[in-house]
Structure 1
Amino acid sequence: MTEHQPRQLAFDFPPGIALGPDDFFVSEANRLAFAMLRTPGDWPEGKLVITGPIGCGKSHLARVFHLQTGARVIAASDLVDGPPPDGPIVVEDMENLPAASETAMFHLHNHQRNIGQPLLMTSALPPARWPATLPDLVSRMQATTVAPIDDPDDALLTVVILKLFSDRQIVPPPNLAPYLAQRIERSFAAAADIVERLDKLAMAEGKDISQRLAAALLDKPVDLE
């Protein structure tokens, strides 16, 4: 943990939520992806793609895999051709792979297969919707096993809201996260949006974050931009 990270806060987590490595919260929405991440020796051809919407925890899972295996983590947008390291690799945000990097990704894929080391990829989109056009790369990517992270259930959404408050170093009232989880769209983006808007509203009005303030915001959303 770096000195700039928010301190860990103690929460009463909803029933059925487990704490995985590096405080990754496991629920039915992400249980498959988390389980597959933990067993890279079982991945077909040694590769796996974790897919899911922005904010669902893909990067968090990439860090769990890094801690588990020592894997090098690379952004797809930064991928360049060259001698790859001899070990596990994570390539994040494959939907952002530049056209100029497709050959480098093809070589990396083959290198990992040849040395018997796992290749983990993350993306907001399934491989069939990636913009890659290099035929050999496309065929190999579309043959990769996909572990989706689904839209959050109420339990995971509650924990995500708690985490978002924690990231802002806010300790919300005990019942606020479940209250919000039951009243917003069931998505990671909606959770991020409500926490941001509630934080802005509280600062603009000089009030503490509360269920009453949240009720007012949900009844009549306020644009503070």
Structure 2
Amino acid sequence: MPRQFRLPLHAPPRWDRESFVSSPTNVDALDALDAWPAWPEGRLALVGPAGTGKTHLARDWARAHEAVVIEAASTGNKPLDLAALRGRPLLVEDADRRASFSGEGGDTVDDETLFHLINMAGVDGGSLLLTGRLAPIAWEAAVPDLRSRLNALPVARIEEPDDVVLAAVLRRGFEAAGIRPAADLYPYLMARLPRSAPAALAAVAALDEASIDQGREVNKALALAVLAFGEDDGEDGDDEV
């Protein structure tokens, strides 16, 4: 029976700009990040679907400017020392998935904290980069003053992957797994996979597992057997196994 996609295990990531593939889907976001420190009031929201490179670009920006990195979706952390963060470049990852209030877990970024972080941006040389899957206007906000701040944030958007980006995601996934697939596997997969980076990485993981389990080459024949593409024209049935 063909396997269904599963989420892959990720290799240690690289966050440098040199390993990021630019395309029309992300060039506006690149330009917006490179405009720092001339962001309006020192603020920018970087948004886009999962797996499109938000964290890659955000972490590269944070490294280049020695920014403090804050994981908004993390729980059980101590409250932020806002006074110590004043005047510094800040990166708040997954700001759209933060807790709306600080509960017993001591969440790092609740609504009140995010409100203060946004107000601090642009003061004493400080700046704030926020990442999320949706534009800030769609983020939940229980604090009315935060709602108005989110609605006013400038936004840099990364779109769904095009062929250039999807090919790069596949290539890096195979490289991380130590696989050298036949060159014709790339266009074969790109023509059939959902247009998302998580789907591409899931396909790589499934092919890697099947190749090890079955002792087979990673090629179109294996992809057809493992990924349930449902080929019905038979043109790929002659691949050597």
- Same fold per superposition (TM over 0.5): yes
Match of 1:62 in 2: 58
Match of 2:226 in 1: 217
Q: CA RMSD in A?
A: 2.2
Structure 2 contact 41–121 (Cα < 8 Å) conserved: no
Normalising by structure 1, we get a TM-score of: 0.82
CA deviations 1:169-205 (Å, max 9, x no partner) are: 3333333223211221222232122212222222232
Corresponding residue pairs, total: 206
- CA gap of 1:167–1:137, structure 2 versus 1, over 3 A, is farther
Match of 2:175 in 1: 166
Give 3-state SS (helix, strand or coil) of 1:121's partner.
strand
Q: CA deviation at 1:143?
A: 0.7
Q: CA deviation at 1:154?
A: 0.9
Q: Does 1:128 align with 2:137?
A: yes
Give 2:204's aligned amino acid: V
Inter-partner Cα distance in structure 2 for 1:127 and 1:203: 43
**Structure 1 unmatched ranges of 5 or more:** 9-19
- Identical aligned residues as a percent: 36
Give 1:89's aligned amino acid: L
Match of 1:13 in 2: none
Question: Could you tell which deviates more after superposition, 48-57 or 187-196?
Answer: 187-196
Question: Could you tell which deviates more after superposition, 67-76 or 171-180?
Answer: 171-180
Structure 1 contact 71–87 (Cα < 8 Å) conserved: yes
Inter-partner Cα distance in structure 1 for 2:172 and 2:49: 17
Q: Which has the higher contact order (CA 8 A, sep 6+)?
A: 2
Q: Which has the larger radius of gyration?
A: 2
Normalising by structure 2, we get a TM-score of: 0.77
**Structure 2 unmatched ranges of 5 or more:** 1-10, 103-109, 231-241
Q: Does 1:96 align with 2:105?
A: no
Give 2:19's aligned amino acid: D
Give 3-state SS (helix, strand or coil) of 2:73's partner.
helix
Question: Could you tell which deviates more after superposition, 169-178 or 24-33?
Answer: 169-178
Match of 2:44 in 1: 48
Poorly superposed stretches of 4+, deviation over 4 Å: 218-221
- CA gap of 1:175–1:93, structure 2 versus 1, over 3 A, is same
Structure 2 contact 51–196 (Cα < 8 Å) conserved: no
Give 2:52's aligned amino acid: C
